[in-house]
Chain A
Amino acid sequence: MNAAPVILADGLTRRFGDFVAVRDVSFEVPRGSIFGLLGPNGSGKSTIIRMLCGVLRASAGRATVLGVDVGQDPERVKHRIGYMSQQFSLYPDLTASENLSFYGRIYGLDPERRRDREQAVTDLTQLAPFRERLAGHLSGGWKQRLALACALIHEPEILFLDEPTAGIDPVARRELWDLLFELAAGGVTLLVTTHYMDEAERCSHVGYLYLSRLAAVGTLEEMRNWPGVTPTGTRRIELTCRAPTEALARARRDERVVEVTLFGTALHLLVHEGVADEAVRAALAPGDASAATRSITATLEDVFVGLSRAEREAGHE
């Protein structure tokens, strides 16, 4: 990594009573990157973000954001970071522009600069037609845009987004990501949590959380080439056939198949190296002349499935 990291987590741990929500998590986020924290629900993503934003104390470990230890002195970094939480957390009984002005004042912007910034974030998020509408009356996608606009009012250097696209439609989701790319291009560092695989593919860096533990972290390239994804002695093939769900059931019973995932009408299989394509077709799609196989490389999803398997086998459960 060429620049000093803007976020540094070192052995971050958070316990709630007996439950360990985050266990010994360490990673670095370089300036200007889009860092995706991926993991199933309840894997500790939001807890990590809360600790990095200084609103939740770590039980152990340390987090440094923009050179400030957020466990020690969270207030020193708050005017330089923005946060968009998982649930919509603006005031539904205030209009979009009242919400914006409120956050502008909270960050202590003087009136002139506040007007400039309100204009800038309204332009960026294209909120202008909805300025006078009550925030509670906006649709899901526009709510998220308003939340983003509020989080950006003070030009933060780092923006934390906790599942920003949860519950909004695919078009709004894509548009929101276009906005995020625009921000990243402008030099803002983004830390995004998600459980959508395709969103992870848009990040420059990815960390994968599994059962409160950071199973793997690296650039997207490094993750794709994770050696554990296709263990030695195995290979990946794709099978297309007429009855993929039946083939899936057979594959699960076949001990030559290490791993199988259904992708639409095709199966992605991880099989022992010695098993020939013909044998796979004959075993999983018997009597289907249209069945076809081809060799494939691992997708990011395969990587995460592999990582979860490796974690399970390592006995962390």
Chain B
Amino acid sequence: MSGFLAVLLKEFAHIRRDRSTIVFVLIIPALQLMIFGYAIDVTIENIPLVVYDLDGRSDSRRLTEALVNSGTFRIEDRVQDAEAFRRALTSGKAKAGVLIPADYSERLLHGEQAHLQVLIDGSDSQVATTALNTVNLLVNQFAVERARGIAMQRNMAPARDDVGDPVLAIEVRSRLLYNPSLESARFFVPGLVAIILQLVLLFLTSFSIVRELEMGTLEQLFVTPVSRGGLLFGKLTPYALLAFLELMIVLTVMTTIFAVPINGSIPLLLGLSALFIVTVLGLGLLISTLATSQLQSMQFSFLVMLPSVLLSGFMFPRAEMPLPIYLISMVLPVTYFLEILRGIILRGADLIDLIPHVIGLSVICLIILTLSLTRFRKQVA
């Protein structure tokens, strides 16, 4: 480790002189977390709805009110003719349309089946699915309510509760764990912590080595007796410390501004974060052994970042991925760290729960470090 202290002190001197590093590491990530944390909200609400109500009596009004009260829809327009109804959908002004036929109330009154036509714009599959589910659920509830009323009148029921009122034969008692209000911030913000940590760390470490290569100072160092280990650890240690500081800041933003509490053990979270930080430092080192200019190291970093965002499970569930993509996701350190973060922060998971992910991350870490350390030589060209 000869030369470790010399390189360490020098690297701190660079960081002290270069204010942009401090800003990049400590302020930008907090801002990014806030911006992305608010922007990435997959809860679908206020889908514009067009209503063509031919009936117009209290039963049909109760139905449209219920749709709006669900929060999923807002009434974009009420139309009086079929042409306007069609136009509202083709123009994209409304994403869903409800047509209530003129005999809706009558049929209900006479105990006949009433028909409701619902048109949904399927171009955005997520919006369409949400709209479809909401309408089905609501209308089902309406129908069940009605059935219950009729059953009560005739004094018969599929089942009764303790006081003898008729109820449904099966009742589902579901409880949402870990994120009861289904806020998407709960899910995305811990993931963002991982993504932002990797982004900053990858750029910093690969740049710090490639910059010296470009300036010729690396060649100058190769002529000195500094050891490989002393040079690398001296260069990387300050960035590891910065990364840890950055982690503290983004976790603080997460718990305070986004009110996402850490349900599990904080020491465990920090310990496994350290493993992730070391892995990403190794990845940065590997990139710097491949790149010959800062531009190239940036391109390599993007090559890692893009799948880290898209394939790691940060955006889309990995279970849905085709096998080749799934295999790619298995070599990304973020994949494991995401599971660890979400596990500890949201579910209060302990080490035993996380063992597969900890092993996965450790193996990737070992491979990356071995690869980058053997590739890094005190040789030019």
Contact = CB atoms under 8 A, between A and B. Distances in A.
A106 interface: yes
Interface in A277-314: none
Interface stretch (B222-230, B236-244, B262-270): B222-230
A70 to B, nearest CB: 11
B14 A93 contact: yes
Interface stretch (A23-31, A73-81, A200-208): A73-81
Contacts of A108: 2-3, 225
Given A102-B10, A105-B3, A105-B6, A79 B225 contact: yes
A266 interface: no
B18 interface: yes
Contact of B219 (A81, A82, A89, A91): A89
B216 interface: yes
B13 interface: yes
Interface residues of B, number: 26
A83 B225 contact: no
B380 A56 contact: yes
A189 interface: no
Nearest to A98: B13
A91 B10 contact: yes
A55 interface: yes
A107 B224 contact: yes
Interface in B175-230: 215-217, 219-226
B138 to A, nearest CB: 65
B224 to A, nearest CB: 5
A142 interface: no
Contact of B222 (A55, A79, A98, A105): A55
A55 B379 contact: yes
Given A16-B381, A55-B380, A56-B379, A106 B6 contact: yes
Given A106-B226, A107-B225, A108-B225, A90 B217 contact: yes
Given A57-B379, A105-B6, A83 B13 contact: no
B144 interface: no
B16 to A, nearest CB: 10
Nearest to A76: B225
Interface in A59-103: 74-75, 78-79, 81-83, 85, 87-94, 98, 102-103
Contacts of B217: 89-91
B5 interface: yes
- In this complex, which of B223, B225, B379, B380 has the most chain A Cβ atoms within 10 angstroms of its Cβ? B223
A53 interface: yes
Given A55-B379, A105-B5, A87 B225 contact: no
A256 interface: no
B17 A94 contact: yes
B5 A55 contact: no
Contacts of A87: 216
B219 A85 contact: yes
A78 B380 contact: no
Contacts of A106: 3, 6-7, 221, 224-226
Q: Say which size band chain A's interface belongs to.
A: 20 to 34
Contacts of B220: 83, 85, 89-90
Given A55-B219, A85-B216, A103 B3 contact: no
A103 to B, nearest CB: 7
B115 interface: no
A224 interface: no
Contacts, number: 75
Nearest to A87: B216
B9 interface: yes
Contacts of B215: 89, 91-92
A58 to B, nearest CB: 12
Nearest to B230: A106
A50 interface: yes
B378 interface: yes
Nearest to B215: A89
A85 B3 CA distance: 21
A78 B216 CA distance: 18
Nearest to A80: B225
A105 B7 CA distance: 9
B9 to A, nearest CB: 7
Contacts of A54: 223
B224 A78 contact: yes
Nearest to A95: B13
A74 B228 CA distance: 13
Contacts of A85: 216, 219-220
A78 B379 contact: no
A50 B380 contact: yes
Contacts of B379: 55-57
A275 to B, nearest CB: 51
A81 B13 CA distance: 27
Nearest to B14: A93
Contacts of B10: 91, 94, 98, 102
B223 A55 contact: yes
Interface string B7-31: 1011001100110000000000000
Contacts of A98: 10, 13
A42 B13 CA distance: 36
Contacts of A53: 222-223
Given A79-B224, A93-B14, 15 more contacts: A53-B223, A55-B223, A55-B378, A55-B380, A56-B380, A90-B217, A91-B14, A94-B14, A102-B6, A102-B9, A106-B221, A106-B226, A107-B225, A108-B3, A108-B225
Interface of A: 16, 50, 53-57, 74-75, 78-79, 81-83, 85, 87-94, 98, 102-103, 105-108
9 closest cross-chain pairs (CB), A and B? A105-B6, A89-B216, A83-B223, A89-B220, A55-B222, A78-B225, A79-B225, A106-B6, A93-B17
6 contacts: A53-B223, A55-B379, A91-B14, A94-B14, A105-B3, A106-B3
